[in-house]
A = this chain, B = another copy of it.
Amino acid sequence: MATIGDIGLAAAINIITALIFLLAFAVLRLQPFNDRVYFPKWYIRRLRTSPSRSGGVVSKFVNVDLKSYVRFLNWVPDALRMPELELIEHAGLDSAVYLRIYLLGLKIFFPIMFLAWAVLVPVNVTNDTLEKAKDVTFSNIDKLSISNIPLGSQRFWVHIVMAYTFTFWTCYVLKKEYETIQNLRLHFIHSEKRRPDQFTVLVKNVPPDPDESVSELVEHFFLVNHPNHYLTHQVVRNANKLADLVEEKKKQRNWLDYYQLKYSRNQSKRPVTKTGFLGLCGDKVDAIDHYTSNIEKLSEKIAAERKRVMSDPKSIMPAAFVSFKTRWGAAVCAQTQQSKDPTQWITGWAAEPRDVYWPNLAVPYVQLTVKRLMMAVSFFFLTFFFMIPIAMVQSLANIEGIEKRAPFLKPVIEAKVIKSFIQGFLPGIALKIFLILLPTILMMMSKFEGFLSISSLERRSASRYYIFNFVNVFLGSIIAGTAFEQLNTFLKKSANEIPKTIGVAIPMKATFFITYIMVDGWAGIAGEILRLKPLIFYHLKNTFLVKTEKDREKAMDAGSLGFNTGEPQIQFYFLLGLVYAVVTPLLLPFILVFFALAYVVFRHQIINVYNQEYESAAAFWPDVHGRVISALVISQLLLMGLLSTKEAALTTPFLLALPVLTIWFHRYCKGRYEPAFVKFPLQEAMMKDTLERAREPHLNLKGYLQNAYIHPVFKDEDDSDSDDDNGESLEKYEQELVPTKRQSRKNTPVPSKISAGSSPSIPEVTSEYTKL
A residues whose Cβ falls under 8 Å from a Cβ of B:
186, 221, 224-226, 228, 331-332, 335-340, 342-343, 345, 365, 369, 372-373, 376-377, 491-492, 494-497, 499-500, 644, 649, 652-653, 660, 664, 667-668, 671-676, 679-684, 686
Could you tell me the distance between the alpha carbons of A675 and B653 in the complex, rounded to whole angstroms? 40
Instruction: Give chain B residues whose Cβ lies under 8 Å from the Cβ of A660.
Output: 376-377
Do the beta carbons of A681 and B369 come within 8 Å of each other? no
Least distance between A694 CB and chain B CB atoms (Å): 14
Do the beta carbons of B369 and A671 come within 8 Å of each other? yes
Least distance between A741 CB and chain B CB atoms (Å): 20
Do the beta carbons of B492 and A365 come within 8 Å of each other? no
Residue of B nearest to A335 (CB): B336
Could you tell me the distance between the alpha carbons of A377 and B660 in the complex, rounded to whole angstroms? 9
Could you tell me the distance between the alpha carbons of A225 and B340 in the complex, rounded to whole angstroms? 26
Could you tell me the distance between the alpha carbons of A494 and B686 in the complex, rounded to whole angstroms? 55
Could you tell me the distance between the alpha carbons of A682 and B340 in the complex, rounded to whole angstroms? 8
Could you tell me the distance between the alpha carbons of A171 and B36 in the complex, rounded to whole angstroms? 60
Kindly list the 8 A-B residue pairs having the minimum CB-CB distance in the complex, ordered from nearest: A496-B496, A342-B675, A337-B679, A373-B664, A337-B681, A369-B668, A332-B332, A335-B336
Q: Which of B335, B499, B674, B676 contacts A340 (CB 8 A)?
A: B676
Could you tell me the distance between the alpha carbons of A673 and B675 in the complex, rounded to whole angstroms? 24
Given A332-B336, A335-B336, A342 and B500 touching (CB < 8 A)? no
Instruction: Give chain B residues whose Cβ lies under 8 Å from the Cβ of A684.
Output: 340
Residue of B nearest to A347 (CB): B682
Do the beta carbons of A652 and B338 come within 8 Å of each other? no
Do the beta carbons of B495 and A652 come within 8 Å of each other? no
Instruction: Give chain B residues whose Cβ lies under 8 Å from the Cβ of A673.
Output: 342
Least distance between A519 CB and chain B CB atoms (Å): 35
Could you tell me the distance between the alpha carbons of A186 and B339 in the complex, rounded to whole angstroms? 11
Do the beta carbons of A675 and B337 come within 8 Å of each other? yes
Instruction: Give chain B residues whose Cβ lies under 8 Å from the Cβ of A340.
Output: 186, 676, 681, 683-684
Residue of B nearest to A675 (CB): B342
Do the beta carbons of B225 and A339 come within 8 Å of each other? no
Instruction: Give chain B residues whose Cβ lies under 8 Å from the Cβ of A376.
Output: 660, 664
- Given contact pairs A186-B340, A338-B681, a sample of 15 additional A-B residue pairs in the complex whose CB atoms are under 8 Å apart: A224-B683, A225-B683, A226-B682, A228-B228, A337-B675, A337-B680, A337-B682, A342-B679, A345-B683, A369-B664, A369-B671, A377-B660, A492-B652, A494-B496, A496-B496
Instruction: Give chain B residues whose Cβ lies under 8 Å from the Cβ of A500.
Output: 494
Residue of B nearest to A369 (CB): B668
Do the beta carbons of B342 and A649 come within 8 Å of each other? no
Could you tell me the distance between the alpha carbons of A343 and B681 in the complex, rounded to whole angstroms? 12
Least distance between A110 CB and chain B CB atoms (Å): 29
Given A496-B494, A671-B342, A675-B337, A224 and B373 touching (CB < 8 A)? no
Residue of B nearest to A374 (CB): B664
Least distance between A501 CB and chain B CB atoms (Å): 10
Least distance between A636 CB and chain B CB atoms (Å): 15
Do the beta carbons of B365 and A672 come within 8 Å of each other? yes
Residue of B nearest to A641 (CB): B494
Least distance between A428 CB and chain B CB atoms (Å): 32
Could you tell me the distance between the alpha carbons of A500 and B682 in the complex, rounded to whole angstroms? 52
Least distance between A517 CB and chain B CB atoms (Å): 31
Instruction: Give chain B residues whose Cβ lies under 8 Å from the Cβ of A644.
Output: 492, 494
Do the beta carbons of B496 and A681 come within 8 Å of each other? no
Can you list 7 residue pairs at the A/B interface with Cβ under 8 Å?
A224-B683, A335-B337, A338-B682, A340-B683, A342-B674, A345-B683, A494-B644
Least distance between A81 CB and chain B CB atoms (Å): 32
Residue of B nearest to A345 (CB): B683
Least distance between A504 CB and chain B CB atoms (Å): 13
Could you tell me the distance between the alpha carbons of A492 and B500 in the complex, rounded to whole angstroms? 12
Do the beta carbons of B497 and A683 come within 8 Å of each other? no
Most buried by B among A337, A491, A499: A337
Given A365-B671, A664-B373, A336 and B682 touching (CB < 8 A)? yes
Do the beta carbons of B682 and A491 come within 8 Å of each other? no
Could you tell me the distance between the alpha carbons of A496 and B499 in the complex, rounded to whole angstroms? 10
Could you tell me the distance between the alpha carbons of A338 and B675 in the complex, rounded to whole angstroms? 11
Q: Which of B228, B337, B372, B496 contacts A495 (CB 8 A)?
A: B496
Do the beta carbons of B225 and A686 come within 8 Å of each other? yes
Given A336-B682, A377-B660, A494 and B491 touching (CB < 8 A)? no
Could you tell me the distance between the alpha carbons of A652 and B495 in the complex, rounded to whole angstroms? 12
Residue of B nearest to A183 (CB): B340
Least distance between A598 CB and chain B CB atoms (Å): 32
Residue of B nearest to A685 (CB): B225
Could you tell me the distance between the alpha carbons of A716 and B669 in the complex, rounded to whole angstroms? 44
Instruction: Give chain B residues whose Cβ lies under 8 Å from the Cβ of A225.
Output: 682-683, 686
Do the beta carbons of B652 and A342 come within 8 Å of each other? no
Most buried by B among A331, A491, A675, A681: A681
Could you tell me the distance between the alpha carbons of A667 and B675 in the complex, rounded to whole angstroms? 22
Could you tell me the distance between the alpha carbons of A680 and B337 in the complex, rounded to whole angstroms? 7
Instruction: Give chain B residues whose Cβ lies under 8 Å from the Cβ of A372.
Output: 664
Could you tell me the distance between the alpha carbons of A337 and B224 in the complex, rounded to whole angstroms? 24
Do the beta carbons of B495 and A683 come within 8 Å of each other? no
Do the beta carbons of A335 and B338 come within 8 Å of each other? no
Given A228-B228, A671-B365, A653 and B491 touching (CB < 8 A)? yes
Instruction: Give chain B residues whose Cβ lies under 8 Å from the Cβ of A342.
Output: 671-676, 679
Least distance between A646 CB and chain B CB atoms (Å): 13
Instruction: Give chain B residues whose Cβ lies under 8 Å from the Cβ of A675.
Output: 337, 342
